[in-house]
Amino acid sequence: MPAYACDICGLGTSNYNPFLFPHLSKNYLSLNYLHRQYHIHADEGLVKEKITSIAISTQYSVTEKLQLVAIVPYQLNNQQNWYGSSNIKGLGDITLMGNYRLFMHQGRSNTQTVVVGGGVELPTGNYTAIESKAIEDQNFQLGTGSIDYLLNASYCLSYRKWVFSAIGSYKYNTQNKDNYRYGDVLTAGATAVYRKELKNFSVAPYVQLMNETQMEDANNHILQNHSGGSALFTGGGIDINTRKIAFGANYQFAAALNLSKGEIVAKPRLSAHISFLL
């Protein structure tokens, strides 16, 4: 499933694990929903930001080992502050990736898989330069305005009805035309899945732990002190697969966080998806 982070505050794609669930190793078309909410303690008072992403993602298997992925998000952002409420909506930054199965070992009772990948995030989302240095204004964008690069890797161990996975990704952001550069993002996480096979479908509840770290932003090569930070999310969800359709939901909350020197509080986030095998 795609996971979006601004990268911690709502823009872009931080990682993509194509083999967490069985249907994601095949050709598919998927509709994804992700809702996040942040409380920002600004000098003038409390700012509430709601970031909603509706994304269409698709995967095409070039060979048995190589998959190409495209993710097209549509953003619906809302900000509430002491002046009132404001909304922006539109196309976000499109992501194009390739994932390669580097290693696979299939034993009697277990299967191990290593996948590596990379890609690019295109500046298709609107970015508007602002004079304000407030972090709540800088993060309230549809896109980064820059071409950004992604690297990711995952390890998956399947043992009988259990699936354990570990993922890591790095997002390298470049400076946009307005000389603003969002901080790079490092993501690492682990997931434990129990898969129950029934007559016509499978049910896979899971728990997960995900840590997201963003470096400080830079404006005209000057680091922005009230930016960056880290957040440790935990939670879980459930995935249900039939032969042609898969759908699921995921809930995560921040067990520990330190965003923008404590100015930003990440509220629980919710995601859902439905996928159609092609």
The mean-pLDDT minimum among 87-101, 111-125, 137-151 falls in 137-151
Domain of 188: which CATH number?
2.40.128.130
Task: Please give the tally of structural domains in the chain.
Answer: 1
Query: Is residue 8 a part of any domain in this protein?
Result: no
- The pLDDT score that the predictor gives to residue 2 is 33
Q: Give mean pLDDT, residues 78-100.
A: 90
- The pLDDT score that the predictor gives to residue 133 is 61
At 59-70, the pLDDT tens digits run: 898 998 898 999
Q: What angle do CA 85, 136, 178 make, to 5 degrees?
A: 115
Query: Is residue 267 a part of any domain in this protein?
Result: yes
* Domain span including residue 183: 22-277
Sequence length of the chain is: 278
Structural contact between residues 245 and 214, judged by C-beta atoms closer than 8 angstroms: no
Q: Which residue has the tokens 């709502």?
A: 10
Query: Is residue 15 a part of any domain in this protein?
Result: no
Query: Is residue 10 a part of any domain in this protein?
Result: no
Query: Is residue 176 a part of any domain in this protein?
Result: yes
Query: Is residue 16 a part of any domain in this protein?
Result: no
- The pLDDT score that the predictor gives to residue 5 is 35
At 192-220, the pLDDT tens digits run: 999 898 988 999 999 999 999 999 989 89
Mean of all residue pLDDT scores within the chain: 85
Q: Give mean pLDDT, residues 138-145.
A: 85
pTM score, two decimals? 0.89
Query: Is residue 13 a part of any domain in this protein?
Result: no
Query: Is residue 259 a part of any domain in this protein?
Result: yes
